[in-house]
Structure 1
């Protein structure tokens, strides 16, 4: 089978990283795979091959005829059996290119979040309805993500399924010595965007310090709101208790080194960082949003009602001072059994086969 993956751009983000990991496994399975980015980027992604770029215009993304034409040329030359669009503007570019240049390849949309949270106007909803009308199949990362999408666009019910995100097997993860920073280490990994709720995290951490005075917060990641959070840390006189690392190539090493990983996000699909914590045998605390409750329960971690900062801080304290070893082992077993990319990739291939077979039947009957 020939598979074409569309990604937003080469950037260190979960959607792009998972698309590359998935594509690598599909290569191993014997498929022919091509990766194409909408926009140019500089990040090095974990893809074994070359990433082509449509060199799309960020300022003209709603009327980018040259980029739509380039995608058409790639589709005509590569002749994929299926095209998977992975977040960002990928679905938009695929749909417009397909409609204008009339290529006939099934389009799969990978839904990795809660789409409804981003529909802030009637125009946005109508525009997204138009795009989804031209999607052949949707693969959502969690039941919550699927439910959210279908609630807003009920016509997608009959062409949707759930396949979760997965992890790559690691033979060794190196722990980082963080003892110079304090006695108890709280780690957060994620981009500085409003969804990740860093401001709430700083408030929560300040509460933790009132009980666990030797605690230190390690913030791994970068993004547009980083400077704002740095200002907040200074204003709260927490400079000696909070460290900013920016983007790192080895986030698993930080997770492995943590006493607890935290995720107080207000919007999530199925965050891979929680699976990574389980795989590293690191306790975790997270808000109950999106599909998080589908992987985090009292058997595998600490789940807190959204916006309950007092309970969140208490669960952090519990995990720092008295970690539940049975829970840690249960979480690790869950990830190894159900969330490794080698098996996850097979589920994607099975979905593609069904979509392609259905397309062939439609062509034969017409």
Structure 2
């Protein structure tokens, strides 16, 4: 089989939730760029309007929906089907958020000749609270031709709702490794990168700061990201008089640039598929402390430099922070031993090849 010839003919439409600074969207954009380099025609399409500058050099468009009600509007399914007919992709890949339901509904009521893939970067079961929601997502998944999960944990979770006969490989997260420009700062800095949503547990992070203060935890906290709960979290920080310790930087195109050398990534998340920010930290040799949820446990097995904490054990999390604070140079010297392995494990070229193998198989 002449795969080179097939690649020249292949077209891929990557469907994303919104042009925003979130792992799913950033990965889709970076994957799209790698596919372009492999000679594939790629279009990036967002369902909702957004203005964040995603790292994608190809054609990017938005349907411009302003609320979730638009996902259920047949007029928008028709608009999308016309766009698909015009671009005529071989593959349509839905990447998180509302993309699965929107693609599935369009496919159910309009004829789409493309092969349909759902790229599962999270843990679907965490969000499905009722039997109706579960049955609805079973229906959505039945419209797909293949599934991809970012971790074995995510795969196992999704398999509760999916046809067991569908192709469903695990393709770990991949990242574009930034070149860091540290600035000299001898004060320890705790870094959190993530959207202000319930699963990221910013309230739990505030609790860590409060309780840690009583035990001698020092250093500043940098919170990078935006989201629906940001205003509420800012109010809580101000009400607890923690404004001098906790700094909000908003969404950044290059969040890892210009960090203090003595930085530690902390992730007290309630659930995760496989967070790209951990991959980026590992590739830079930055110590990581995280609750052992979702795919993080799998990463901890691969990379012992991750300090995994039993979920919801805030005292254990604080103790780990105090240990790193007291022995930072030791942790800093150990973490780089994992850097070369991390760069291979989270390689964009590796992930792109895995996706190409799936595309070809369909």
1:58 to 64, 67, 76: 67
CA contact (8 A) 1:252 1:280 kept: no
Number of the residue aligned with 1:305:
310
Question: What is the CA RMSD across the aligned residues, in angstroms?
Answer: 1.9
Cα distance between partner residues in 1 of 2:223 and 2:271: 18
2:356 to 331, 349, 353: 349
Shift of 1:105: 1.4
TM-score of the pair, normalised by structure 1? 0.90
Task: Tell me the SS of whatever aligns to 1:11.
Answer: coil
TM-score of the pair, normalised by structure 2? 0.91
Shift of 1:8: 1.2
Number of the residue aligned with 1:186:
190
1:112 to 108, 115, 121: 121
Cα distance between partner residues in 1 of 2:252 and 2:66: 28
Number of residue pairs matched by the alignment = 350
Number of the residue aligned with 2:141:
132
1:245 to 245, 249, 257: 249
Going from structure 1 to structure 2, the CA distance change for 1:77 and 1:202 (only over 3 Å counts) comes to: same
Moved more, 207-216 or 185-194: 207-216
Going from structure 1 to structure 2, the CA distance change for 1:202 and 1:147 (only over 3 Å counts) comes to: same
Shift of 1:19: 0.4
1:159 to 156, 167, 183: 167
Cα distance between partner residues in 1 of 2:314 and 2:97: 31
Shift of 1:164: 1.0
Cα distance between partner residues in 1 of 2:264 and 2:215: 15
Deviations along 1:222-267, one digit per CA (max 9) or x if unpaired, are: 2221222222222322222221212222211265644311000001
- Structure 2 stretches of 5 or more lacking a match? 1-9
Cα distance between partner residues in 2 of 1:62 and 1:299: 42
Moved more, 315-324 or 103-112: 315-324
Cα distance between partner residues in 2 of 1:62 and 1:251: 31
Shift of 1:333: 2.5
CA contact (8 A) 1:195 1:265 kept: yes
Shift of 1:192: 1.1
Shift of 1:208: 2.6
Shift of 1:210: 3.1
Deviations along 1:188-240, one digit per CA (max 9) or x if unpaired, are: 11111111111111111223323445322111112221222222222322222
Number of the residue aligned with 2:84:
75
Task: Tell me the SS of whatever aligns to 1:229.
Answer: helix
Number of the residue aligned with 2:327:
322
Cα distance between partner residues in 1 of 2:274 and 2:217: 32
Task: Tell me the SS of whatever aligns to 2:85.
Answer: helix
Task: Tell me the SS of whatever aligns to 1:85.
Answer: strand
Cα distance between partner residues in 2 of 1:140 and 1:219: 27
CA contact (8 A) 2:189 2:260 kept: no
- Structure 1 stretches of 5 or more lacking a match? 356-366
Number of the residue aligned with 1:363:
none
Shift of 1:330: 3.2
CA contact (8 A) 1:56 1:64 kept: no
CA contact (8 A) 2:180 2:258 kept: no
Number of the residue aligned with 2:55:
46
